[in-house]
């Protein structure tokens, strides 16, 4: 694995293995755990620009960052109004963040139908106005997008160049079209075409579930780094594996994640959230189905702690 820092404007990351933003999962506790396991950069869940402009309490909760986090603070925002996007970047809520990532790849229907996320790939001039307005805030700006809307409309290098021309400091390319959502083969050639089209860093995203996947993605695309999404959700220790770190105490990590989640988000949220996370962490383990049934019957983090002691991690 060719590990190296990635220069984003005036910042340089510790390495080129990043945690991609994951709606509903990359909260402050999870990001801090992934950073501790070796992630060179982590992103918040996607946050509504309008929600930030109107001071939504729920929106600002998504921005919580652990006081012990020692990495570059990066946030992902979404929206389709250049003025609101700039206001969000200039908001007090985003003051602690060094890098703002603009979501131009979310395929979820309610986001797409609202003209946000991957819908912005339909309107390159609007996408460029959004990027340039966000840059006026003085923040470093990156953009995450897909290879196109479907295989008949692959526009990766064109869109990559448009992002660079509008002022983006980095791009992340999810190597699937919008219609494929999160499944199907990753299009290495399209990510490679984006890399050839621009001078700014290009991060490849899609299909990384182990070190070999990360090495193949980098090797096939020539990208500057990889962004791990579902692979981290199933096993945050993937960052230790990819970066060659020490073998982590998985059970200890799970216990620490649950404890901190209770402290920050409360018992009710922590019980529901950690049931899901522990179920993900069981992927591929012997007897996983039976353990998942037990997990989803748990009514408290205390019950989850007892189940954790026996889980085959």
Q: Report the catalytic residues.
A: 106
- Distance (Å, whole) CA 277 – CA 232: 11
Q: Which residues contact 17 (CB under 8 A, 6 or more apart)?
A: 3, 38, 39, 40, 214, 225, 226, 228, 239, 242, 243
Contacts 24+ apart (CB under 8 A), 212-216: 214/1, 214/17, 214/242, 215/1
Phi-psi sector, 260: left (phi>0), alpha (psi -120 to 50), beta:
alpha
Helix (H) or strand (E) segment spanning residue 124? helix 124-135
For the chain, give the longest Cα–Cα distance.
54
From the list 90, 66, 202, the residue with the least C-alpha distance to 138 is 90
């Amino acid at each position: 694995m060719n590990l190296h820092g990635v220069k984003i404007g005036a910042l340089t990351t510790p390495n080129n293995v990043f945690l991609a933003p994951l709606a509903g999962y990359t909260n402050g506790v999870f990001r801090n755990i992934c950073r501790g396991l070796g992630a060179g950069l982590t992103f918040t869940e996607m946050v509504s620009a309008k929600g930030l402009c109107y001071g939504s309490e729920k929106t600002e909760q998504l921005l919580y960052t652990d006081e012990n986090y020692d990495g570059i603070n990066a946030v992902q925002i979404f929206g389709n109004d250049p003025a609101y996007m700039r206001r969000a970047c200039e908001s007090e809520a985003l003051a602690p963040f060094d890098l703002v990532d603009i979501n131009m790849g979310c395929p979820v229907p309610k986001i797409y139908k609202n003209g946000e996320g991957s819908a912005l790939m339909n309107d390159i001039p609007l996408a460029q106005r959004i990027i340039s307005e966000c840059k006026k805030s003085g923040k470093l700006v990156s953009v995450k997008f897909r290879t196109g809307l479907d295989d008949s409309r692959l526009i990766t290098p064109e869109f990559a160049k448009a992002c660079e021309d509008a002022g983006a400091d980095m791009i992340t390319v999810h190597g699937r079209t919008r219609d494929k959502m999160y499944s199907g083969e990753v299009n290495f050639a399209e990510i490679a075409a984006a890399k050839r089209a621009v001078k700014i860093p290009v991060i490849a995203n899609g299909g990384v579930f182990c070190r070999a996947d990360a090495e193949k993605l980098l090797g096939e695309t020539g990208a500057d780094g990889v962004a791990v999404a579902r692979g981290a959700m199933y096993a945050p220790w993937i960052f230790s594996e990819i970066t060659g770190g020490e073998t982590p105490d998985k059970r200890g990590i799970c216990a620490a994640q649950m404890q901190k989640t209770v402290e920050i988000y409360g018992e009710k949220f922590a019980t529901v959230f950690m049931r899901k996370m522990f179920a993900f962490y069981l992927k591929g383990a012997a007897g996983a189905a039976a353990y998942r049934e037990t997990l989803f019957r748990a009514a408290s983090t205390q019950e989850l702690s007892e189940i954790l002691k026996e889980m085959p991690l």
